[in-house]
Amino acid sequence: MEPATPMEISPRVLPPSDQWSPALAVPAPVCRFENFLGAERAAALLEYAISREDDFTAGTVLDPLTGQVSRKGRDSLVLPVTSRVFSAHLADCLPLVQEVLGHRAPLAQSLTVLTAHGEGGHFGVHTDASRVRDVSTALSAVYYLHRRPRGFGGGQLRLYDTAVVDGRARPGESYREIEPEHDTIAFFPSGAFHEVVPSTCPSGRFPDHRFTLTTWISGAEPAPGPDARRPYVWQWLADAAEGSRPLHDAEEDHDGARPVALPPPGPDTRLGPAVIRRTP
Ligand SMILES: O=C(O)CCC(=O)C(=O)O
Ligand SMILES: [Fe+2]
């Protein structure tokens, strides 16, 4: 068959205009790893989380306008933790994550909490501005754990697009949903609006909850002024998140998490841009 000749769409059909006013919907960059810790370590970590049932407390939020700590819009259990091994694994992944997300700022420290969502568990739309030093350069990472077969329903992570209209950014209405699959981790900008949709847990048993290790990764110092090299998407996300930035300069995390320094990536890191480039 002869290939069809392209037809010019006449300007009578599509008249020229100098009045374009594009409304962008920019998806938040996200990077997911499957089998992040591997079956054995993931299973051990899940059993550890379950064994600490009595130590979890109700998760809090920080009101961006008043700086008040409350439980508004959130029903999650939390337990602040640290883990040298988890931090080292994160550090090994970060060069690749930064490349995929178009992230350029240096990263130095992380805060981590274990969380559990059961029947009616949820976390309303928010940014992670209250957890990080500079929301325009920080990363959030959520590592998921659950028993199989899964004892909960729902609980997807919804990552909202940013709408940019006439150069002004605001949270969009469209979103991408991430399934909380066992032994997977999702990295995304802390300035991106996101939520945990309500979960169900028919058995009501703690081992059937939706568990996470949630981490916020920041630079050591607030990033200096506007950075000309910062990709647009990070600037837009930061602009849209501006209203959610807490006013007070908290020294303490509102769920009790403590910052720990990230180690440098290991010398025999398997996960790095160089490894990807060598792949044919
Ligand atoms: O559990 C999740 O999927 C996300 C949790 C979250 O957004 C948070 O703890 O700030
Ligand atoms: Fe969050």
Q: What structural domains and CATH numbers belong to the chain?
A: 23-278 (2.60.120.620)
pLDDT beyond 90 at 267: no
Structure tokens given for 73: 């819009």
**Atom of ligand 1 at shortest distance to CA of 117?**
1
Ligand number, closest to the Cα atom of 215: 1
Q: Using CA positions, which residue lies closest to atom 3 of ligand 1? A: 157
194 close to ligand 1 (CB < 6 Angstrom): yes
ipTM score above 0.90: yes
Structure tokens given for 16: 């020229």
Q: Which residue has the higher pLDDT, 131 or 64?
A: 131
Which residues, in sequence order, are CB contacts of 259 under 8 Å at separation 6+? 109, 110, 111, 218
pLDDT beyond 70 at 228: no
195 close to ligand 1 (CB < 6 Angstrom): no
**Atom of ligand 1 at shortest distance to CA of 128?**
10
Question: What pLDDT is stored for residue 269 in this prediction?
Answer: 60
Owner of token pair 């990033």 = 223
Q: Which residue has the higher pLDDT, 216 or 17?
A: 216
15-19, 70-74, 170-174, 180-184: segment of lowest average pLDDT? 15-19
User: Using CA atoms, how far apart are residues 129 and 115, in angstroms rounded to an integer?
Assistant: 18
| Torsion sign (Cα): 255, 251, 213, 123 | positive
Question: What pLDDT is stored for residue 245 in this prediction?
Answer: 83
User: How many CB atoms within 10 Å of residue 25?
Assistant: 13
196 close to ligand 1 (CB < 6 Angstrom): yes
Testing ligand 1's pocket by substitution, the residue of 177, 214, 218 carrying the most ligand atoms inside 8 A of its CB is 214
Q: Which residue has the higher pLDDT, 24 or 200?
A: 200
253 close to ligand 1 (CB < 6 Angstrom): no
Q: Are the C-beta atoms of residues 247 and 65 closer than 8 Å to each other?
A: yes
User: Using CA atoms, how far apart are residues 256 and 187, in angstroms rounded to an integer?
Assistant: 22
186 close to ligand 1 (CB < 6 Angstrom): no
Query: What is the rounded end-to-end Cα distance, in angstroms, of the chain?
Result: 35
Question: What pLDDT is stored for residue 248 in this prediction?
Answer: 65
Q: Are the C-beta atoms of residues 151 and 205 closer than 8 Å to each other?
A: yes
Name the phi and psi angles at 206, rounded to 5: -60, -45
Q: What's the rounded mean pLDDT across residues 203-221?
A: 94
Using alpha carbons, select from 181, 179, 174 the residue that is nearest to residue 157: 179
Of the pLDDT bands very low, low, confident and very high (cuts 50, 70, 90), residue 20 is confident
Q: What's the rounded mean pLDDT across residues 92-102?
A: 93
pLDDT digits (tens, 9 = 90+) for 100-117: 999 988 999 999 999 999
45 close to ligand 1 (CB < 6 Angstrom): no
User: Using CA atoms, how far apart are residues 268 and 32, in angstroms rounded to an integer?
Assistant: 21
Question: What pLDDT is stored for residue 64 in this prediction?
Answer: 81
